[in-house]
């Protein structure tokens, strides 16, 4: 039961309101002066305070200041006869929960209480009921033969529900949602397995993929007299984008909220090089061998992104003035934030930002990060906390001030892995947990998406017998040696390289400055 304090020098005239609220189940205390109100607040634990602004002795604003000194989180609703803007601004500036103008009616008071005391429970209950109604509808859609655009719509709906339901206090509804999301990932993985090769062989129904997205989605967004800043935030999933957008909403409006498909493997070496070059990995290897590094070779696998972009623009016949910056360290980010204004003479500015991917890997390797990002909700929260305090946010705010345009995207996402799948390979087999390639791989074919001829999906092959296998849903590959140890170490971590909604469906967001 919520306990409420009502402070008003004419409290007896408000007795009908107090009786009404008591009948609704609220425990009410009423007092007619600020000094006694502060004494009661120090003595009892209140959930809400109604406070008259104009009282003799200590005014409502005086009492508000004192309340916030000792009970900063206690919601206070200011009630006044005055409609003066200065009083409203002073009250709001003192962090009030709401502002009501006399005369107030019972339902108005009840609504204010529900907004400030019961809102989270009301919203949670409504979201749970609404999702249960849509659960069957989404389930039926998953049984249809969905096309690439329909999968994007399904994924967006699932993410919207995830972000709504994460506020729920009903753990049961979250379990139901997770079951449906797992089912969607299973169906989606089969969809990719059944269609991916055809897409790369020229299927007319192929979606926008990593190697076509720059030409099809980025270039058409460029404007004649407005510089565009393309942010490639490594490993930024669609749910993480939705989480950070509220921080940007004061500065930008969304022009386009779209999604494209990452190529396989869903890793930086393959997907991002394809993004910048406009070519598939084996095409890069053959056409620009100086810009391609094999997995078994030493060196950074993405050190020529700027050069690859230049080759794509040249093939497209575009003589464009652009800049390319890669941010890996905090100091690099700060330096770019200080010099963002110098980039406005370029039509296109590409900024690769490498924090989210590092966060994902740190969560695997560092116990403290694993505890801070213990689940999907916490992982999103940690991403938001980083973003709001990062040079990246400062760079974007500078762009907003100068009325630039922003495109936010990434090269691949990541999925929280749950189920180990045994695989055996020789010493030359790569180490990624979500995909393997080699010539002597042993696995259960039904558990993976296998490609026996890498040419079919335009991937490099070390020898004539090289084949690729990709983990699906939340699976991850483990060798039989030390199986239990590595299962415990990697289970429940975020990985990428395979096939899942979270890895393959990539946000492509265009923002214009307000």
- Between strands 48-52 and 76-80, the pairing is parallel
Residue 365 confidence class, pLDDT cut points 50, 70, 90: low
Residue 166: predicted pLDDT: 87
Residue that has been written with the tokens 């749970």 in this structure: 128
Following DSSP, what letter does each residue of 104-131 receive, concatenated? P-HHHHHHHHIIIIIHHHHHHHHHHHHH
Contact 291, 239 (CB under 8 A): no
Residue 81: predicted pLDDT: 80
Q: What is the DSSP letter of 218?
A: I
Residue that has been written with the tokens 């899942």 in this structure: 500
Q: How far apart are CA 148 and CA 34, in angstroms?
A: 63
Residue 452: predicted pLDDT: 94
Residue 112 confidence class, pLDDT cut points 50, 70, 90: confident
CATH class of 3-104: alpha beta
pLDDT tens digits for range 380-413: 998 999 999 999 999 999 999 999 999 999 999 9
Separation in Å, CA 288 to CA 76, 96, 211, 223, 450: 65, 62, 15, 30, 27
pLDDT tens digits for range 163-188: 999 887 677 888 999 999 999 999 99
pLDDT tens digits for range 179-222: 999 999 999 999 999 999 999 998 888 999 999 999 999 999 99
Of residues 271, 279, 345, 285, the one with CA closest to residue 314: 279
Contact 464, 409 (CB under 8 A): no
Question: Where in the chain is CATH 3.40.720?
Answer: 208-414+502-513
Per 3-state DSSP, the chain is made up of helix, strand and coil in percentages (nearest 5) of 50, 20, 30
- DSSP collapsed to 3 states, 424-490: ECCCCCCCCCCEEEECCCECCHHHEEEECCHHHHCCCCCCCCCEEEEEECCEEEECCCCHHHHHHHH
Residue 371: predicted pLDDT: 74
Separation in Å, CA 113 to CA 124, 202, 233, 347, 465: 16, 60, 41, 52, 69
Phi, psi of 477 (to 5 degrees): -85, 135
Q: How far apart are CA 417 and CA 419, in angstroms?
A: 6
Q: What is the DSSP letter of 165?
A: H
Q: Is 226 exposed, middle or buried (0-12, 13-18, 19+ CB in 10 A)?
A: middle
Residue 87: predicted pLDDT: 63
Residue 90: predicted pLDDT: 65
Task: Tell me if the bond preceding 265 is cis, omega within 30° of 0.
Answer: yes
Average pLDDT of the residues in 338-349: 95
Indicate the length of the chain as a whole number: 514
Q: Which residues of 140-162 are buried (b: 16+ CB within 10 A; e: fewer)?
A: ebeeeebebeebbebbbebbebb
Residue 368 confidence class, pLDDT cut points 50, 70, 90: low
Q: How far apart are CA 73 and CA 81, in angstroms?
A: 25
Decide: helix, strand or coil at residue 1.
coil
pLDDT tens digits for range 275-328: 999 999 999 999 999 999 988 787 787 899 999 999 999 999 999 889 999 999
Greatest extent of the chain over all pairs of C-alpha atoms, in Å: 91
Question: Where in the chain is CATH 3.40.50.2300?
Answer: 3-104
Contact 490, 433 (CB under 8 A): yes
Q: How far apart are CA 197 and CA 471, in angstroms?
A: 16
- DSSP collapsed to 3 states, 300-325: CCCCCHHHHHHHHHHHCCCCCCEEEE
Contact 405, 511 (CB under 8 A): yes
* Residue 134 structure tokens: 């849509």
Options 1.10.3470, 3.40.720, 3.30.420, 1.25.40; CATH for 208-414+502-513 is 3.40.720
Separation in Å, CA 497 to CA 78, 231, 421, 470, 501: 54, 21, 15, 7, 12
Contact 254, 509 (CB under 8 A): yes
Residue that has been written with the tokens 């259960």 in this structure: 444
Residue 193: predicted pLDDT: 97
Q: How far apart are CA 442 and CA 440, in angstroms?
A: 7
Residue 215: predicted pLDDT: 97
Separation in Å, CA 493 to CA 354, 386, 490: 19, 19, 6
pLDDT tens digits for range 11-65: 999 999 999 999 999 999 999 999 999 999 999 999 999 999 889 989 888 999 8
């Amino acid at each position: 039961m919520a306990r409420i304090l009502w402070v008003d020098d004419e409290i007896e005239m408000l007795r009908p309101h107090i009786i009404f609220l008591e009948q609704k189940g609220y425990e009410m205390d009423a007092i007619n002066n600020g000094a006694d109100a502060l004494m009661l607040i120090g003595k009892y634990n209140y959930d809400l305070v109604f406070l008259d602004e104009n009282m003799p002795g200590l005014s409502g604003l005086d009492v508000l200041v004192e309340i916030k000194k000792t009970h900063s989180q206690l919601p206070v609703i200011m009630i006044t006869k005055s409609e003066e803007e200065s009083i409203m601004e002073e009250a709001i500036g003192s962090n009030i929960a709401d502002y009501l103008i006399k005369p107030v009616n019972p339902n108005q008071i009840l609504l204010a209480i529900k907004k400030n005391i019961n809102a989270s429970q009301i919203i949670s209950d409504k979201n749970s009921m609404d999702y249960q109604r849509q659960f069957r509808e989404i389930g039926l859609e998953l049984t249809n033969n969905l096309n690439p655009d329909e999968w994007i719509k399904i994924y967006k709906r699932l993410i919207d529900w995830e972000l709504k339901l994460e506020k729920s206090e009903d753990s049961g509804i979250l379990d139901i949602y997770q079951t449906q999301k797992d089912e969607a990932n299973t169906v989606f993985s089969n969809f990719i397995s059944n269609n991916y090769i055809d897409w790369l062989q020229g299927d007319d129904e192929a979606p926008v993929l990593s190697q076509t997205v720059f030409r099809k989605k980025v270039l058409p967004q460029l404007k004649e007299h407005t510089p565009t800043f393309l942010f490639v935030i490594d490993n930024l999933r669609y749910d993480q984008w939705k989480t950070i957008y509220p921080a940007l909403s004061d500065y930008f409006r969304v022009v386009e909220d779209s999604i494209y498909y990452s190529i396989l493997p869903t890793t930086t070496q393959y997907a991002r090089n394809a993004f910048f070059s406009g070519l598939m990995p084996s095409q890069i290897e053959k056409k620009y061998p100086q810009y391609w590094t094999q997995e078994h070779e030493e060196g950074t696998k993405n050190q020529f992104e700027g050069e690859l972009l230049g080759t794509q623009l040249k093939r497209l016949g575009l003589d464009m003035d652009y800049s390319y910056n890669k941010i890996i360290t905090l100091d690099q980010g700060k330096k770019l934030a200080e010099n963002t204004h110098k980039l406005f003479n370029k039509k296109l500015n590409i900024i690769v930002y490498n924090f989210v991917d590092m966060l994902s890997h740190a969560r695997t390797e560092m116990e403290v990060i694993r505890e801070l990002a213990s689940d999907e909700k916490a992982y999103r929260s940690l991403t938001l906390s980083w973003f709001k305090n990062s040079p990246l946010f400062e760079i974007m705010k500078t762009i907003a001030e100068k009325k630039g345009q922003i495109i936010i995207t990434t090269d691949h996402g990541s999925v929280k892995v749950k189920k180990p799948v045994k695989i055996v390979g020789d010493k030359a087999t790569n180490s990624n947990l979500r995909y393997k390639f080699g010539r002597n791989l042993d696995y259960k074919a039904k558990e993976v998406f296998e490609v026996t001829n890498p040419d079919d999906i335009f991937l490099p092959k070390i020898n004539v017998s090289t084949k690729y296998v990709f983990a699906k849903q939340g699976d991850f590959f483990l060798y039989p040696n030390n199986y239990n140890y590595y299962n415990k170490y990697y289970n429940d971590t975020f990985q990428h390289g395979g096939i899942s909604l979270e890895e393959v469906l990539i946000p492509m967001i265009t923002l214009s400055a307000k």
